[in-house]
A and B are shown apart, each in its own frame.
Chain A
Amino acid sequence: MSGLRSWIARRLLLGVAQTVAVVLLVFVLTEALPGDAAVAFAGDQPDPERIAAVREAMGLDRPAHIRLGEWVGGLLHGDFGTSLASGRPVSGFLADGFGPTVLLATVTVLLLVPVGVGLGVLAARREGRFTDRLISSATLGVYAVPEFALGVLLVTVFALRLGWFPPTAVGYGTDLLAHPAALVLPVLVLLARPVCSLSRLVRAGMIDALAAPYTAHAQRYGIPGFRVRYAHALPNALAPATQQLARTVDWLLCGVVVVEALFVIPGLGTVLMNAVADRDIPVVQGLAVVFGLATVVLNLGADLVTHRLAPRSGVAA
């Protein structure tokens, strides 16, 4: 047990290190590089007076390490600073966009796991036959396709030609759950890439597990095939896939930004894109920290689950 405990401790430490690194990276990339946020914000009308005003408002005349200290101190208290463009607190922006984005992500992940695992197990059980070839080629093909191209094509076919779903979420506000039809296409687009990678991994892992000596042994004992497959083989097949699930968090975040832009959903991705367009550095920083933290935490969780599923695979840290 002490081995497990020390492994968890090391993994948690890595998570903390990554969190610190993300916060530092966000600061360095947006503020400490040459040129500064005030010039960037003034942008198209580089009016010296305006630049000076922004610089003072942001406290850019003070040394970088002091600003970093204050910013991090604020973050620890949940204070993300104030927007340059509107003067509103950044946490207000976060609260606005939170609902739709979390809804999208939750629905996607809830569907992703059964669909991905199901397709993978199905392909593995029919290895080399038509079903497997069909699933394998389809997942391989869709795997690398950017969400926006896929999304636009789906909109053209299902919203414009067939008229089954609304083409965008315009007019539904933030309460998307009340309009499930508007959610179908966005979730479908978000699912496309992660489902492909997950099912390919589950298929590979499941084929390995079904060919392993312990499966044959269990069968010799007369344990029913169903139980062998789902209680013995599947957990081992899932270990690599769980780590991939964490990787797909990265894709989901990318996907959420694109899908929200494509379907005009007022979530965090839209807030982020607007802030990038306005060069509203504090808002961008706040969102980046939230997205980065989500990635770190979810990866941590996935590693812990992987460790639980297949302790000997010795994941990470």
Chain B
Amino acid sequence: MKRPGRYAAGAAVAGVPLALAVLGPFFVGEPGARAASFTPGGGHWLGTDFVGRDVLDQVLLGGRPVVLVALAATALAYLVALPVGLVSALTHRRWLEETLMRPLDVLLAVPSLLMLLLVAAAFPPGAVGLALLVALVSVPDAARIVRAAAAEAASRPAVEALRMQGESWWRLAVGYVGRSILRTLAADAGIRLTGALYLVATAAFLGIGVAPDASDWAVMVDRNRAGLFIQPWAVVVPALLIVALTMGSNLLVDAAMEHRAPAGRTPRDRVRSEPAPRAPVPPRKGRRP
């Protein structure tokens, strides 16, 4: 497939769930009286759910929390990963680099969902807590990418020249290195977002960070499973929307990656499918990674 075609495919698949998530809540009617649970039809296009609410209304409402929490988590992760990665790539003090990056290696050793469950067992989180947790889980990978990209940019002759000219650290780090790794980071943010969507939806399905009757596609899938035999729409529609959302966003991210380096497969291809090298393999300063 040609590149425009790939963008189109991704946009087409992700478009419907995204539009529903953004615009859906504006089209929800007045919450009428609750009907019997799991009835197909009867004035409800998609029937009713496990407590007798209109499934269509729930579908219109349920996309926003998934997308919002995932977006917030990605933004938060980068808020931490960006300074940590930049500082550890640009500092000349080994101990600083080690103290910044080593704890992240430890976080990597714990499976991400397990981390969520661990914290959820002690302190049941809300939506904000869930976003924080997902961000925490995404920080190590993001920080590694930032550092690897920044270390590469920092080893260029231009940085040497700027340094000898006596430019300030800030100017160097943000003005040059930060700017030149922007595209890499944009692509990586896309990967983090697909990962965050996956984790947020899975956590909600397992009942973490959501109310038991929340209007949320993943919660709908979980709670309406009991009526799968009599009223499958209450499960199938939100499940399809989640599949389309994650699938489409992954296609979009991949098309964007290809865009970065048009020569067929890219070196990032590997970074992309393999979110992080297992153990610390640092591209040392002054050497190309």
Using A146-B202, A147-B202, A152-B221 as known contacts, say yes or no to A247 and B117 having CB atoms under 8 A apart: no
Using A33-B122, A156-B235, A258-B202 as known contacts, say yes or no to A145 and B247 having CB atoms under 8 A apart: yes
CA distance A50 to B250 in the complex (A): 49
Q: Are B122 and A155 in contact (CB under 8 A)?
A: no
A/B interface sample: 15 pairs, CB < 8 A: A14-B279, A22-B109, A26-B118, A30-B121, A141-B250, A144-B250, A152-B236, A156-B236, A201-B270, A277-B207, A284-B117, A315-B281, A316-B277, A316-B279, A316-B281
CA distance A279 to B269 in the complex (A): 41
Most buried by B among A26, A147, A149: A149
Interface residues of A (CB under 8 A from B): 11, 14, 18, 21-22, 25-26, 29-31, 33, 35, 37, 40, 133, 137, 140-150, 152-153, 155-156, 160, 167, 197, 200-201, 204, 207, 240, 243-244, 246-247, 249-250, 253-254, 257-258, 261-262, 272-273, 275-277, 279-281, 284, 288, 291-292, 295-296, 299, 302-303, 314-317
CA distance A167 to B249 in the complex (A): 29
Of the listed stretches B18-26, B46-54, B80-88, B238-246, name the one at the interface; the rest are far from the partner chain. B238-246
Chain B, interface SS category: helix
B139 beta carbon closer than 8 Å to chain A: no
Q: Are B118 and A243 in contact (CB under 8 A)?
A: no
Using A18-B106, A281-B121, A284-B118 as known contacts, say yes or no to A317 and B246 having CB atoms under 8 A apart: no
Q: Which of B121, B218, B228 contacts A156 (CB 8 A)?
A: B228
Q: Which of B122, B205, B218, B277 contacts A37 (CB 8 A)?
A: B122
Q: Are A207 and B265 in contact (CB under 8 A)?
A: yes
Using A29-B119, A133-B1, A144-B250 as known contacts, say yes or no to A150 and B243 having CB atoms under 8 A apart: yes
Q: Which residues of B contact A254 (CB under 8 A)?
A: 111-114, 202
Q: Are A243 and B109 in contact (CB under 8 A)?
A: no
Q: Which residues of A contact B225 (CB under 8 A)?
A: 152, 262
CA distance A245 to B94 in the complex (A): 31
CA distance A144 to B248 in the complex (A): 9
B30 beta carbon closer than 8 Å to chain A: no
Q: Are A250 and B118 in contact (CB under 8 A)?
A: no
Most buried by A among B113, B225, B275, B280: B113
Of the listed stretches B36-44, B149-157, B193-201, name the one at the interface; the rest are far from the partner chain. B193-201
A-B contact count (CB 8 A): 190
**Chain B nearest CB: distance from A42 CB in Å?**
13
Q: Which residues of A contact B235 (CB under 8 A)?
A: 152, 156
Most buried by B among A35, A40, A276: A276
0 or 1 for each of B278-289: is its CB under 8 Å from A? (1 = yes) = 111100000000
Q: Which residues of A contact B279 (CB under 8 A)?
A: 11, 14, 299, 303, 315-317
Interface residues of B (CB under 8 A from A): 1, 13, 105-107, 109-115, 117-123, 194-195, 197-198, 201-202, 205-208, 218, 221-222, 225, 228-229, 232, 235-236, 239-240, 242-243, 246-247, 249-251, 254, 265, 269-270, 273-281
Beyond known contacts A197-B274, A258-B113, A315-B281: 19 more, CB 8 A cutoff: A22-B109, A30-B118, A31-B122, A140-B251, A144-B194, A145-B242, A146-B205, A149-B242, A152-B236, A197-B273, A201-B273, A246-B278, A249-B111, A272-B117, A280-B121, A281-B122, A291-B114, A299-B109, A302-B278
Q: Which of B13, B236, B246 contacts A146 (CB 8 A)?
A: B246
Q: Which residues of A contact B122 (CB under 8 A)?
A: 29-31, 33, 35, 37, 40, 279, 281
Q: Are A21 and B106 in contact (CB under 8 A)?
A: yes
Most buried by A among B115, B206, B247: B206
CA distance A149 to B265 in the complex (A): 30
Q: Which residues of A contact B246 (CB under 8 A)?
A: 144-146, 149
Q: Are B106 and A25 in contact (CB under 8 A)?
A: yes
Q: Which residues of A contact B202 (CB under 8 A)?
A: 146-148, 254, 258
Q: Which residues of A contact B239 (CB under 8 A)?
A: 148-149, 152-153
CA distance A159 to B44 in the complex (A): 26
Q: Are B228 and A148 in contact (CB under 8 A)?
A: no
Q: Are A35 and B123 in contact (CB under 8 A)?
A: yes
Q: Which residues of B contact A276 (CB under 8 A)?
A: 117, 120-121, 208
CA distance A200 to B271 in the complex (A): 12
The chain B residue sitting closest to A207, CB to CB, is: B265
The chain B residue sitting closest to A313, CB to CB, is: B281
**Chain B nearest CB: distance from A295 CB in Å?**
6
